[in-house]
Structure 1
Amino acid sequence: MPAKGDHDARRRDVSDAVWGVLAEHGFGGLTMRAVAARMGASTGLVSHYFPSKKALLRHALDLAEERTAARPRQVATGPGLAALRAALLDVLPVTPELTAGSRAWVSFWDAALADPALGASQAARYDRWRTRLRTHVEAARDLGELPAATDPDQVVVIAAAFAHGLVVQALFDQAQFPPARQVDLLDRFLGTLGHPASPADSPPSG
């Protein structure tokens, strides 16, 4: 444990414990007692730094964003679809570290749906992610990897929905969605982007 007077370090220790509880037990298992037990400390120490569960969660969210921003990223082999692939692969639970992070983030969604402020933060987070993905989709279109008529915003929404849908399935059924299959499904998905639906595939008008 850090020195007694090191307030920031102690808060970070608490947040690390919060992140660990969320990764293992989800938001429903996040209690002052569970966090204290993970730290080997008293609930009094936890409540001293975070007087409520909401305050504790907000600080943990800040730390989670720091960790997400600082963790190693997939190295794209090039711009366009290769960069989009790397960006989407970065969110899939294909390693123990990414799996733990995904479990924690998914557990945050429950809290975000119930709290307007947390919900707004999550919506802004999604908006920033889609903006980053859009850059890669636009590059793919400009490189000729996607049709010239491609709507980047539409592709980005579909790509984000695909990635997080796969995240949830993999978290609930790791046996059916091991890392190799996740990567294969991602590559299959990306392969469909350059092949727009033919007129025969379009729904009838009128």
Structure 2
Amino acid sequence: MPARGDHDARRRDVSAAVWRVLAAHGFDGLTLRAVATEMGSSTGLLTHYFPNKRALVAYALDLAEERTLEGRIKPSGRGLAALRELLADIVPISDVAVEMNRVWVSSWDAALADADLGERETRRYERFRTLRLRPFVEEAVELGELPADTDADDVATMLAAFAHGLVVQVLFDPDRYPPERQLALLDRMLTALSA
């Protein structure tokens, strides 16, 4: 039986290989064979961790969420300023954000094709709207930055849809949406909300 440290080190190696395959090929290219090749090992080794592709995809979604949470910023501002920071952290204005968003967008097909994976993604997006965005929408209302009758759920949904829609536009047409333009569009969205 391998030592616990060896097992943990191997799991880190597997995680790193899964991430490299995701970053290079997306979820469509995520196979046991591709991860094994990336690690320079056999698919037999990987079956100790993932009995099938579905288990590998579920793990990859967990890994993507873990990496997303590790990289999340804690806003320094309040209300609309905090929302701007949160949304600027999502849109692909850096190489790291481009890579992360490519992975997430490529995951949508797998999540839409599998009810259990889809339910996990539904909950993840719900947490994003209700726990990350909504508190700052409510704070913006309290600060008088948004109208008193603002529906915080609707605004959180609109902001999430805006950010993810912008992500898709940038991934397909990066030259048209350089970082400065992305931030300018974000600022226009927030200004329109507060009008």
SS at structure 2 position matched to 1:67 = helix
1:162 aligns with 2:162: yes
User: Of the two, which has the highest radius of gyration?
Assistant: 1
In the superposition, relative to structure 1, how do residues 126 and 4 fare at CA in structure 2: closer, same or farther (>3 Å)? closer
What is the match of residue 44 of structure 2? 44
* 2:49 partner amino acid: Y
Instruction: Give me the whole-angstrom Cα distance separating, in 1, the residues matched to 2:53 and 2:11.
Output: 14
Aligned equivalent of 1:27: 27
Is contact 1:74-1:90 (8 Å) kept? no
What runs of 5+ residues in structure 1 fail to find an aligned partner?
196-206
Query: In structure 2, how many angstroms separate the alpha carbons of the residues matched to 1:92 and 1:172?
Result: 13
SS in 1 for 2:90: coil
The alignment yields a C-alpha RMSD, in angstroms, of: 1.9
The CA deviation at 1:179 is 1.5
Q: Does 1:136 align with 2:101?
A: no
Of Structure 1 and Structure 2, the greater helix share is in 2
Percent of matched pairs sharing the same residue? 61
1:64-116 deviation digits (Å, cap 9, x = unpaired): 2222111252643x210001111111211111111111111111111110111
Q: Which residue number corresponds to residue 127 of structure 1?
A: 126
Q: How many residues align?
A: 193
Q: 1:9 to 1:62 in 2, by over 3 A?
A: farther
Aligned residue for 1:178?
178
Query: Which secondary structure does the structure 1 equivalent of 2:47 belong to?
Result: helix
SS in 2 for 1:48: coil
Q: Which amino acid in the other structure matches residue 164 of structure 2?
A: H
* Alignment CA distance shift 1:57-1:15 (3 Å): farther
Q: Which structure 2 segments of 5+ residues have no match?
A: none
Cα distance, 1:151 vs structure 2 = 1.2
In structure 2, C-alpha distance between the alignment counterparts of 1:6 and 1:59, rounded to whole Å:
20
Residue 90 of structure 2 aligns with an amino acid whose one-letter code is: V
Which stretch shifts more, 174-183 or 8-17?
A: 8-17
Residue in 2 that maps onto 1:71: 71
Alpha carbons 2:98, 2:171 under 8 Å: kept: yes
Alignment match, 2:6: 6
The answer as to 2:112 corresponding to 1:113 is yes
Which aligned runs of 4 or more in structure 1 are off by greater than 6 angstroms? Answer: 2-5
Letter in 1 for 2:50: F
Please report the TM-score for the alignment, with normalisation by the length of structure 1.
0.87
2:83 corresponds to: 84
| Superposition deviation, residue 15 in structure 1 | 2.3
TM-score (norm 2): 0.91
Structure 2: how far apart are the matches of 1:61 and 1:9?
A: 20
Partner of 2:152: 152
